[in-house]
């Protein structure tokens, strides 16, 4: 696998790779990983690391069983474990005279446009200063409603907003198989995937380790974000020593190959929104307008569901109850409901103000219907 063709590489590391079944850090494996990343940097590659492990290391330090722990306790444990995690990376890279940084993100940091641009600028500035960003979800403040819950999709979203060429997903399995290899000896690895359809999604099965929170389902969702953003994703085993160098020599991996994206960075961000807050139902006339590259006007809206604010991502649903687009609403759900079915020249009379004439402007909308 020629990963040296990529310029900016995101490497996602799962908890089960860092911590073993006896609650101890896999020091030898970790040092070998540092060697691999140092190899990439010497080849003039920009590397971003998305690493799990804070909660696992916190549980280990406090001698707590993760299975019996509540989310509120996770927040405190993560605050302790994050220090252990970042110190682990700091000590490892110090030997190579490489500086690192810590970036903690919540779901809203990638799903709110202004905040995602700020995160992108911070990461890019660190890369320009030859500093490796170590990214993790900010579990210390994230609640169940505003958290990823897995670093697979976080890694994909980071890759997307930073315009990375490739996401290397280090896992406890070496790729996507035609069936569950633990249950079916005839299962074969799928070498290349160019689109995520229902048949690919059907192959995903939950396989949660004692420490990790992801499974094949979240990896497929991550791959979908990457493919739609013009970023390749490689799913491979991280269990062995020197997993990156092994990837270069090894043939056991799945490449989720992206197509050249014609969407702007903004529309890629909209399309891959994870935290949509509601839905806007439209009639056939409005659907035809969207298909022809027009904005969504209030007169074509039939209903509004959910509780969202101006600037939130929403799904757009047609008369057949099929999702056909994702967009950024120019109105809150409360105000949107008041102007359903009216012409734009009536908005000021109804609301007392006009945000803009469109419910969703074409510049803030991605049409997805097949």
Residue 216: its pLDDT value, please? Answer: 85
Tell me, which fold does domain 3-268 have in CATH? Carbamate kinase (3.40.1160)
What region, left, alpha or beta, does residue 282 occupy, with left being phi > 0 and alpha being psi -120 to 50 degrees? beta
CA 38 to CA 47: how far, in whole Å? 9
Instruction: Calculate the dihedral angle through the C-alpha atoms of 13, 202, 162, 251, rounding to the nearest 10 degrees.
Output: 60
CA 357 to CA 345: how far, in whole Å? 8
Strand partners of residue 47: 9
- Tens-digit pLDDT profile for residues 196-236: 888 888 887 544 444 444 578 889 999 999 998 889 999 99
Name the CA radius of gyration of the chain, rounded: 22
Strand boundaries in the chain, DSSP class E: 8-13, 46-51, 99-105, 131-137, 166-171, 192-193, 232-237, 253-256, 278-282, 301-306, 313-317, 323-328, 365-367
Task: Assign domain 276-367 to a CATH class.
Answer: mainly beta
- Rounded mean pLDDT of 238-259? 90
What region, left, alpha or beta, does residue 235 occupy, with left being phi > 0 and alpha being psi -120 to 50 degrees? beta
**pTM confidence score:** 0.81
- For residue 361, pLDDT over 50 is answered with yes
Domain residue limits, the chain = 3-268, 276-367
Residue 210: its pLDDT value, please? Answer: 40
Residue 370: its pLDDT value, please? Answer: 54
3-class secondary-structure state, position 50: strand
């Amino acid at each position: 696998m020629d990963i040296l063709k990529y310029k900016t590489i995101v490497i996602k590391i799962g908890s089960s790779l860092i911590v073993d079944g006896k609650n101890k850090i896999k020091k030898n494996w970790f040092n070998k990983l540092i060697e691999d990343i140092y190899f990439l940097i010497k080849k003039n590659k920009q590397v971003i690391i998305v690493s799990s492990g804070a909660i696992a290391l916190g549980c280990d330090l406090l001698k707590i069983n993760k299975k019996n722990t509540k989310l509120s306790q996770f927040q405190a444990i993560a605050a302790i474990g994050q220090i252990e995690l970042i110190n682990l990376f700091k000590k490892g890279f110090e030997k190579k005279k490489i500086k690192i940084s810590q970036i903690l993100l919540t779901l809203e940091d990638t799903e709110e446009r202004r905040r995602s641009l700020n995160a992108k600028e911070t990461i890019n500035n660190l890369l320009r200063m030859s500093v490796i960003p170590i990214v993790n979800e900010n579990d210390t403040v994230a609640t169940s409603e505003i958290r990823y819950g897995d670093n697979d999709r976080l890694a994909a979203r980071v890759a997307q907003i930073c315009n990375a060429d490739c996401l290397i997903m280090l896992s406890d399995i070496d790729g996507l198989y035609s069936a569950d290899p633990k249950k079916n000896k005839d299962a074969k690895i799928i070498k290349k995937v160019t689109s995520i359809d229902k048949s690919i999604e059907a192959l995903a099965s939950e396989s949660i380790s004692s420490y990790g929170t992801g499974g094949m389902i979240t990896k497929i969702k991550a791959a979908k974000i990457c493919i739609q953003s013009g970023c390749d994703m490689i799913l491979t085993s991280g269990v062995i020593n020197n997993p990156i160098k092994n990837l270069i020599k090894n043939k056991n991996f799945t490449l989720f190959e992206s197509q050249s994206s014609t969407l702007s960075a903004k529309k890629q961000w909209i399309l891959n929104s994870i935290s949509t807050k509601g839905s806007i139902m439209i009639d056939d006339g409005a659907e035809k307008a969207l298909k022809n590259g027009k904005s969504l006007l209030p007169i074509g809206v039939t209903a509004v569901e959910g509780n969202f604010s101006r600037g939130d991502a929403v799904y757009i649903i047609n008369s057949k109850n099929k999702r056909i687009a994702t967009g950024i609403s120019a109105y809150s759900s409360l105000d949107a409901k008041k102007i359903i079915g009216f012409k734009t020249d009536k908005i000021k009379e109804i609301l007392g103000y006009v945000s803009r004439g469109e419910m969703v402007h074409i510049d803030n909308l991605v049409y997805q219907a097949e």
